[in-house]
C-alpha cells in the first residue's frame, strides 16, 4: 500500500512535550517564511475575503480568531490586510503550546493581537468571534477529533469559519522534503514538514468529513501549492 493512500498517524515532533523554546522559535520563524513563499498567507486572506464579502461596512470591530495560531504570522498578515482596507477588527490567537504563545507575544510585528495559551475547546469569549480559522492545524488531528473541532468552530462563529491545510500528494511531499533538507536549519521543520503532508488530506476525505458535519454549507477549493481551503458560511 502506498504511503499516500491513507493519512499518516505518526506524531509530529512539534506535538511532543518539553521542546526547548529556541527550537520552537526557529521552527516558527521558518514556517512564516514557508507560508509567505508558498502562498499560505495568500490562501488565508482568500478565506477572510470570502467570509467578509457579504458583510456591510460597520464601525463595530470584527472579532477574528485563529486556533492553533503558532507564532501569530497568519493573524499578523490578516491584521495588516484589514488595516489597509480600513476595516476595524480585534484579533485573538489561541494555542496550547506556551512556547508558541511566548514567541508570538515577543514579536513586535504582532502588536495589537491578543494571544491566549489554552486548548481551543476551553477558550472563553465575551461573545462569539465573527470569524474562526485555522492554518496547518487540522492535519494534527484524527478524523474524529477534527469532526469535533469543526462542530465547535461552527457553533462558536458568527459569520463562519475556514481552514487552510495540506493536500496529501507525492509531489508536495518530495518537494517540501527536498527544500527543507537543503535550506532549513530546524530539525523540527526537516522532520515535520514532509510528515505534515503525509498527515494531510485528499478531496474525498474532506468531502466525506464535511458532509457528516456541515452538509451543504461549505465550499472546498484546491489552492497552489498543494493546499485546501474549506469555507463554511452561516446562512
Average pLDDT, the chain: 95
**Residue 1: pLDDT band by 50, 70, 90 thresholds?**
low
Position 216 pLDDT exceeds 90: no
Strand partners, 219: 231
Question: 132-148, pLDDT tens digit by residue?
Answer: 999 999 999 999 999 99
Is 8 a domain residue?
A: no
Closest to 95 measured CA to CA, from 166, 15, 155, 174:
15
* 174 part of a folded domain: no
Evaluate if residue 59 carries a pLDDT over 80: no
The number of folded domains in the chain is 1
Percent above pLDDT 90 for the chain? 88
Helices (H) and strands (E) counted in the chain, each on its own, are 8, 7
In a domain? residue 116: yes
pLDDT single digits (tens) 61-95: 999 999 999 999 999 999 999 999 999 999 999 99
Residue among 137, 177, 186 at smallest CA distance from 23: 186
At residue 235, the pLDDT reads 81
Using 50, 70 and 90 to split pLDDT, how confident is the model at 212?
confident
91 with 104: CB under 8 angstroms?
A: no
Is 160 within a domain? yes
CA gap 29, 204 in Å, rounded: 33
Q: Looking at the domain assignment, is residue 182 inside a domain?
A: no
Q: Answer whether residue 45 shows pLDDT above 90.
A: yes
Q: Decide if 137 contacts 165 (C-beta within 8 A).
A: yes
Q: Residue 45 belongs to what domain range?
A: 16-166+203-233
Residue 126 located in a structural domain? yes
Here the CATH number for the domain that contains residue 227 is 3.40.50.150
142/58: higher pLDDT: 142
The grid coordinates of residue 44 equal 488565508
Average pLDDT over residues 171-188: 96
CB 89 within 8 A of CB 51: no
Give a yes or no: residue 180 inside a domain: no
DSSP 5: S
How many Cβ atoms from other residues are within 10 Å of residue 39's Cβ? 17
Amino acid at each position: 500500500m502506498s504511503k499516500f493512500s491513507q493519512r499518516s498517524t505518526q506524531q509530529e515532533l512539534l506535538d511532543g512535550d518539553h521542546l526547548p523554546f529556541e527550537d520552537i522559535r526557529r521552527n516558527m520563524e521558518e514556517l512564516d517564511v514557508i507560508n509567505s513563499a508558498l502562498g499560505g498567507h495568500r490562501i488565508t486572506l482568500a478565506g477572510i475575503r470570502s467570509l467578509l464579502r457579504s458583510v456591510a461596512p460597520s464601525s463595530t470591530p470584527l472579532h477574528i480568531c485563529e486556533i492553533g495560531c503558532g507564532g501569530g504570522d497568519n493573524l499578523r498578515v490578516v491584521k495588516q490586510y484589514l488595516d489597509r482596507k480600513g476595516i476595524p477588527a480585534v484579533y485573538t490567537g489561541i494555542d496550547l503550546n506556551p512556547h508558541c504563545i511566548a514567541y508570538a507575544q515577543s514579536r513586535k510585528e504582532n502588536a495589537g493581537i491578543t494571544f491566549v495559551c489554552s486548548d481551543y475547546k476551553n477558550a472563553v469569549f465575551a461573545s462569539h468571534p465573527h470569524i474562526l480559522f485555522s492554518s496547518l492545524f487540522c492535519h494534527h488531528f484524527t478524523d474524529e477529533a477534527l469532526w469535533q473541532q469543526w462542530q465547535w468552530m461552527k457553533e462558536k462563529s458568527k459569520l463562519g469559519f475556514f481552514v487552510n491545510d495540506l493536500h496529501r500528494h507525492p509531489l508536495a511531499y518530495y518537494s517540501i522534503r527536498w527544500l527543507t533538507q537543503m535550506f532549513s536549519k530546524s530539525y523540527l521543520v526537516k522532520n515535520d514538514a514532509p510528515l505534515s503532508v503525509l498527515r494531510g488530506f485528499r478531496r474525498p476525505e474532506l468531502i466525506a468529513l464535511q458532509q457528516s458535519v456541515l452538509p451543504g454549507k461549505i465550499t472546498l477549493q484546491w489552492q497552489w501549492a498543494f493546499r485546501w481551503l474549506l469555507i463554511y458560511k452561516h446562512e
